[in-house]
Chains A and B, each alone.
Chain A
Amino acid sequence: MSTETASTEDTSGSGLLPAWVGQYLRDHTVHIAVVALFVLYPFAYDFLVGQFGLFAETLLLRPRTMLTVLWLGLFAMSFDFVSGYTGYLSFGHAAFFGIGAYFVVLGYNGQLPLLPAELPFMTLLVLGALVAVVAAVLVGLISFRLSGVYFAMITLGVSEILFVASKNLDFITPGGSDPADGVTPGTPSSVETFNPELGVPFVDALQVELGAFGDTSLLGLDLAPMFSETSPAIVVSYFAIGAVVLLCYLAMQRIIHSPFGRVMIAISENEERARAIGYNTFWFKMGAFAVSAFFGAIAGGLLVGYQGFINPQNSFFFLVTGFALVAAIIGGLKTLAGPLFGYLFLEWVEEFLAREGSGGGLQPFLEQNIPDSILDATISGGLTVSKAMDSFMTGHGEFYAGIIFVLFVLFVPIGLLGTLRLRLGTESVSKHVSRKIAARFGGDK
């Protein structure tokens, strides 16, 4: 539909919108389609689960998990932005995620110098990202003198120091609880409970409150009556956070397709040659690192915005970076959108094969559809089939994720989007397909 409006605008040039809008929309047909799918997903989920019940629940990701995919996907994209495009493996990238998350919490609780307590969420989110930029510049100053394994290790060292600090510094939790158990915004009793508003600043109608108990209406439209199987608050948060992730993605994509981004790619391919041509690669690497830190911190802040809670294990921990790496490889390193799809795939596998809590997945489906006589049958020595399923199919998603990851490394080393890109023989899948569609329907290409 976008292409049709675009082509009419394009020929006249003096229509409602300037000509570049049409060009822009035409270039981004695939992006628009993907965004549309993401927008439709909660509605589709609700409809299908209502229609097919357990069967649909088994196969589809819950909207709550899709939320996780959004912020973790943004984090993995920011990781890919520096690690994929410049070739410098930022192994301590979780540091920026953690900085973003902890800044929101500590800033809200009024524990940071110069900041009054209970600032709006948006302010804290952006300030936290700027702090991450400063941190990235400091880390970059010492670590970009090194390369390869040494670079990876020094960034890892910094993030581990932050991890240990976040587990032990008592000032994080003024209430006296163990900082290793995490902290919530609003911890000292004088601080109001956390109401994170995300949206366009100063425009009330364009802001929503995040969280499982947040707003249920979006842009004045009450979503509550439309959803029977999903909590409408989750869907509203999903749209709001999704919009931020989309903006961040477009910003990063813009940078990568700019001359600056070309130099980043040149650095990953042959840094010495890039330097010989006359680019000061040090500052280009610093720039890329700072940008990726900014978006990594935004991802961390979004996590806190929705969950209203953060602990060291989910922020500064080494495996947070580790799984961003896994997602980036599965989706395709050096493809910006790839890591998001990588996470989508990964989370689907984990939810399907390893149920967490009361979530969907294969196990409840099997339990309902396999007759009791088989479930209670013993395999050996007191072990029944249902007990075996309990120990192998509950909460062990990392096992399956690990196997899939190894298979990807061995057989699809360039990832999902990377393979697609290679097949199409293009640098950007989105642009390529968009042009193909435009040529087909617009007829002027």
Chain B
Amino acid sequence: MTGLTAALDPALAAGVPLSVGEVVDLFTSPTEFASVFVEGLAKASLYLMIASGLTLIFGLMDVINFAHGAFTMYGAYIAGTAVLALGVGSMGLVGSVATFLLILVGVFVLLAVLGVVFEVALIRRLYEYPPIYMILLTFGVSITMEELMRMLVDYYNVNSGREAIDWSIPRDETIPESLDGTFNLLGVSIGGLHPFQILLGILTVAGIWYFLNETRYGLFVRAGVEDDEMARALGININRTFTVVFAIGSGLAGAAGVMLMWSPLWRVNVPLALGVLLPAFVIVIVGGLGSFKGTVVASLLVGMLDALATWAFRVEVVTFTDIDQLLIFAILVVMLILQPRGLFGVEGQGDHG
């Protein structure tokens, strides 16, 4: 709890005029509170999906994957194109959700394959270099991937006569009507997408937890995180484990992109790559580099505070448009001042260049 109150401070310190009366209102009205809480959970799920791939890859391989956001953006574009092509928006609730899940799996697989290619062709060459070169390499790949997508969309727009609107696929063309808007549950107003996002967030946590703790590769991964030389000496093929983890991490990035396609905040566009990457970093750092538990807790923390800030903006306690972005980086700075290694960070991880 100290972390939460501490992280609230920057919002106050940044001069955001919170009026006390309104805040009291929130905590005395159970329905209002519940709706902010559900929104917070939904946002936390999205953040978790974005950040979990990054944390897996960093924990084992010490690779800070700057191309993670680009993978997410590709996932979003592939899914958006598939939804448009299949016409999911006009299907009923069951049909659209089923198709959506199929697309989710498909994108996961596609991006995982891309991740394998990326790891084998490029990342693998640099394991012996200082870690900064990994940042450089993935950053370069990220720039290239983003611009390639811009080219493809430009090309598509030129040929279909479509107006290039921010190089994006508009949200209202892809979302099924039944999931758009809000519904009421016991007087609590809940966004139509929120239960869905929360469910997938829980599935992600459960899936990764199962992978790490119950599977053979999970065992290798944990051994590799602990001490990769020792694991190698015991005959574990760490290189192949690296590839598998990179594939899973990339797949998760893509799956997160599929989820973001319908989120009113993000939309399918090229700037999504950077827009996703930076918060994902913040969550990974706040949670502690390489700690999956830390990432889950940090996602909840950031998601809840984000929902609170969005609510504050909605009821016009705060009149600062990008309050959520400001908040995320304020959390990062305050956390690093108070607890330099994040919530569950391990001594020595990420200290070297």
Contacts and interface: CB of A to CB of B under 8 A. Distances in A.
A396 B151 contact: yes
B307 interface: no
Contacts of B154: 391, 396
A96 to B, nearest CB: 16
B278 A318 contact: yes
Given A164-B322, A390-B158, A150 B353 contact: no
Interface string A322-344: 10011001000000000000000
B326 interface: yes
Contacts, number: 135
Interface string A137-151: 000001101111110
B353 A87 contact: yes
Interface residues of A, number: 47
Contacts of B141: 402, 406
A387 B147 contact: no
Interface in A143-165: 143, 145-150, 153-154, 156-158, 160-161, 164-165
A87 B142 CA distance: 23
B141 to A, nearest CB: 6
A107 B48 CA distance: 42
A390 to B, nearest CB: 6
Nearest to A161: B329
B64 interface: yes
Given A160-B329, A413-B129, A322 B139 contact: yes
A377 interface: no
B148 interface: yes
Interface residues of B, number: 51
Given A161-B326, A164-B326, A325-B139, A406 B158 contact: no
Given A142-B337, A154-B336, A399 B326 contact: no
A403 B140 CA distance: 7
B216 interface: no
Interface string B317-333: 00011100110011011
Contacts of A276: none
A402 B140 contact: yes
B340 interface: yes
B137 A410 contact: yes
Q: Is the interface of A mostly helix, strand, loop or mixed?
A: helix
Given A146-B340, A157-B332, A168-B322, A406 B144 contact: yes
Interface string B275-293: 0001001100100010000
Contacts of A168: 320-322, 326
B340 A145 contact: yes
B136 A325 contact: yes
A383 interface: yes
A382 B158 CA distance: 10
A396 B333 contact: no
5 contacts: A146-B340, A149-B285, A150-B341, A322-B139, A391-B155
Interface of B: 14, 64, 122, 125-126, 129, 131-133, 135-137, 139-148, 150-151, 154-155, 158-159, 274, 278, 281-282, 285, 289, 320-322, 325-326, 329-330, 332-333, 336-337, 340-341, 350-353
